[in-house]
Structure 1
Amino acid sequence: MMAVNMFSRFAVVLILVMTAHLFYATGDVVEVMKQLNRLNKPSVKSIKSPDGDIIDCVPISKQSAFDHPSLKNHKIQMKPSFHPHGLNYESMQVSSQKQETITQLWHSKGNCPKGTIPVRRTKKEDILRASSINKYGKKTNQSIVAHTSSTVEPDLVDQSVHAHAIAYTQGEFYGAKATINLWHPQIQQPNEFSLSQIWILGGSFDSDLNSIEVGWQVFPNLYGDSNTRLFIYWTRDAYQATGCYNLQCSGFIQINNEVALGGSISPISKYQDSQYDISIHVWKDPKQGNWWMQIGNEKLIGYWPASLFSHLSDSATMIQWGGEVINLASGGRHTTTQMGSGHFAEEGFGKASYIRNVQIVDGSNTLRVPKDIYPVIQEPNCYNVQTGKNDAWGSYILYGGPGRNPNCP
C-alpha cells in the first residue's frame, strides 16, 4: 500500500513538472510569435537572398518605426532640409582604393519597388539565439562605449568583455563622416562580435548616454552567420532599455528602397590585395532636427527623429571612430576574435584596417577635419590604433589586431 502511495505521489509530481515545462514552453512560443508579428510587417514582395536572408519589401508608412509612442503622428521627411557643405573627399580620386560600388547579396535576386523599404526578415531561430526574448536585437552590456577619461568609475569600464581601439574628438558637433575599410574578421565563438563604426555621443557614460552608431559588423549570434553586415544602433539611456540594432525596434525611419540594414555587404578587402571601403555620413538637419544617415554621395538611408533623444536632440559632444570586439575569455584566455583585418596598425595600408577622411560637422553645418583626434587603446598587445594625416586621406586612423597572440595570452 505504501509503495502505491509513493508511486502516486511521484506520478503527481511528474505530471506537475511536465505541466510546468509545457506551460513555460508554450509561454515562450507565444512571446516569440508576438515578437515576430511585431517585427515582420506585411510586405508587398519578398526576396530570397543567396546568403539565406529573406528581404521583405515593406511600405514606408507601415515600417516598425511608427510603433514608437512619440512617432504615432509623425510626418515622414523624405529628404533633409540641408546637407552639410564643405570639403568632400569622396569626389577626389584615390588610386590606392578600388572605386567599385558596394553591393548587398540580395540585390542579385531582385529589388524593392519605390514606396517600400527592404527589411531583413526576423526568423524564430534569430530570437531563440538571444539570451532572452526581450534582449533580442539589443546590446547586453552597459559599458560598450570606449571611455576616454581616467576619471570614469572602474565598475563602469568592463574591459574584460569589450575591447576598443578608437580615436575620438570632443566639442560641439552636428554630425560626422568617414570612409571605413571593409573586412571579414574571424570570430572565435558565436556570441562574440567584431565591428568597425562611427559613434556619435551625447550625455554621460553611466546613465543617460545618447548614442548613434553606424558601421559594419560580424556577429554570428545576432545574424546566424559570419557575413560582414551593414548595421546601425541607437540608445538614449546608456543601452539600458532603449534602442536596438537596425530595425529591430521602433525608432529609425528608413526611406531608401535599396539598402537593407543588417544585410550582407560586398566586396570585402583582402590582405595585401584589393581594398574596399564604404563612406558613411550622419548629420543633424538644422531645420527639422533629425539625424540623417547617408551611404556614399547619393544613398540617403533614413533618419533618427530628434524626439528619440535627450542630449542628441541638441548636439553631440563626442565623436569616436574605430573598432570594437567582444572578448568572453573562454577558459581564462583572451579571445582570438579579430578586429578589422586582424593585423596591427603599424603594418599599414593593405594589411591593417583603416578609416580615412575623418570629418565632423560643425555649428555652421560645415564638414571639416577635426582639430585633434586622440587614440584610445584598452589592450595594446591585442589590438591597437594609430592616427595620421596626409593630402589624399585627410585625417585617418589605422587600427586592428589578432586578439590572442604570444603577447596577448
Structure 2
Amino acid sequence: MKKQGKLLIIGIILFAGCMRTPIGMVSPLLSNIQQTLGVPAGLLGSITTIPLLCFALFSPFVPQLGKRFGNELIMFFAVLVLALGNYFRVFSTTFLLIGTLLIGLSIAVLNVLMPVTIAQKYPQRVGVMTSVYTFSMTLFSALASGQSVALADHVGWQKAMQSVSILAVLGMIFWLPALRNIHKSKTGKRTGNSVWKARGAWYLSAFMGLQSLLFYTTLTWVPTILVSHGMSRGQASQLFGLMQLASLVTSYFVPILAYRFKRTRGIILSMAVGFLAGLGLLMIPTASVSLTIVVVVVLGLASNMAFSLAMALFNIKTDTSEQTAEISGMAQAVGYILAAFGPVGVGYLQQLTGSWNLPLILLLIVVVILTLAGLAVDRSRTIFD
C-alpha cells in the first residue's frame, strides 16, 4: 500500500474517533458543566439531544454538498468546524449550545460521507476498512466516556473536553492526502431512482432508525436501571464501561463477515437473540454482579452488531457511491429522529409507571420489528430491487 494510503487510514481512524467522543464524554461531566457555567437543569438534556436533531435534519442535505464540492473536502471542513465548536463550547452556556450545534452538524456530515469515502478510496477492501472505521469509533467513545472523569480530575473538565479538538486537528493533518484526489459527481441529469421512493430504502432506514433508538436508549438508561436494582453508582459505571468495551468485538468482525457473505440473515438473527436476551435479563431486579456482567456484555455485542451491520449495508445494498451517499443520508435522517424520541419516551414511561418493566417490554417489541426490517433488507440484492 502506498504511503498516502497508509496516512489516510490513520486519518480515517482519527476522524472516526471524533464521531461519538464529543457526545459520549459529556454525560459523565454534566455536574461539572452545570456547576461551573451555571447551566439551567432544563438545558442539560439538550446537550445530547441537539446533536441527534442535527443528524436527523441535516443528513439528507449532506450528499448534495459532497456532490458539489467533493466528499473529502466537505469532511475536512466538517472536522475543522467540529474542532472549533468543541474547543469554544466550554467558555459559557451560550458557547456550549452553539458549540454543541456545530458539533452535531459536523458529525452529521461524517456519518453520511464516511461510508461513501471508504468505498471510493478502498473499493477492494470495503469490508475491512468499514471494520476499522466502526471499531475506531467505538474504541475512542468507550475510552472517552470511561476516562473523562479521571481526566477532568487531573486537568479540569474544560481541558478534558477540549482534548477532542486535538484529536480532530491530528485527523485533519493525516487527511491531507485525501484532498489530492477529490471525488465529485459528474455533472448532468440525475440518473436512477430516488432512494426516497424505494421500498428497500425504507426498510433499511427503519433498520437504521430502530437500532439507533435501542443504542441511545440503552446508552442513556442502563446505568440508572442497574442502580435501581441495588448496585452502587461505581459498580454501574464500571459495568457500563464493560458494555461499551464488549461492543468492540462485533464492531470489527461484523462488517468483514457481512461483505464476505453478502447475505446477512445469520448476523441479524444473532443480533436479535442478543437483544432479546440482554433486555429480558435486564428486567430481573438483581444486584448480582455475575448476572449483570452477562447482561451488559450481551447488550454491548448486540447493540454494536446492529450499528456495524447498518453501516455495512449502505455499501452492500447499493451499486454506486452516489446511491450509498443518498441512502446513508436518508437512513440517518429517519434513524436519528427515532433515536431522539427513544431515551425521552422510555424515561417518561418509567416515571409514569414507576417501573422499568413496561419500557423494557416495549424495547423488546422494537427488537422484533428491527429484526423483520433487517430480514426484509437482506432478501434483496439492492435497496432498489
User: TM-score when scaled to structure 1?
Assistant: 0.24
Structure possessing the higher relative contact order (Cα contacts under 8 Å, 6 or more residues apart):
2
Greater radius of gyration (CA):
1
Identify the structure with the greater strand proportion: 1
